[in-house]
Amino acid sequence: MRITSASFEELDLRTAYAVWRLRQQVFVVEQDCPYLDLDDRDQEPGTRHLLLHDGDQLAGYVRVLAEPEAMRIGRVVLDPAFRGRGLADDLMRTAIEQTGERPVLLAAQAPLAGWYATFGFVVDGPGFLEDGIPHVPMRREPGP
């Protein structure tokens, strides 16, 4: 297993296709949430695409966005065949490393808030529904 980081311009066509296929497979089909996953943020300056590979296969993915006041982690996803092995932990640790010394925001699906808390995130506002799924805003201050 290896994790790489790429800008939009550094993604080759096969990798970009695998990313968007995985995100659609999990967020749209598996979670039954028809929404526009391709939201134009993938190609913003400062966006990093973290790719977890098992050989040539994309096993997981995280998107790190640069916003004016903070960084934002999103689209945390593992291929179903790779779940239950702690690989999402590796992806999150790498994503946090990519944020430098800036605060980090994310919108956690409510059942995963405890998992995100293990990385130093705290709930930072009222819960909300997104595509019918309960979410909570979370924040992590810079530090160890």
Q: Which amino acid is present at 25?
A: Q
Give the chain's mean pLDDT. Answer: 93
d(CA 121, CA 31): 24
Cα Rg of the chain (Å, integer): 14
- pLDDT per residue as tens digits for the range 85-138: 999 999 999 999 999 899 999 999 999 999 999 999 999 999 999 888 899 999
Tell me the per-residue pLDDT of 43-97, one tens digit each, with 9 for 90 and over.
Answer: 999 999 999 999 999 999 999 999 999 999 999 999 999 999 999 999 999 999 9
In whole angstroms, what is the distance from residue 20 CA to residue 123 CA?
28
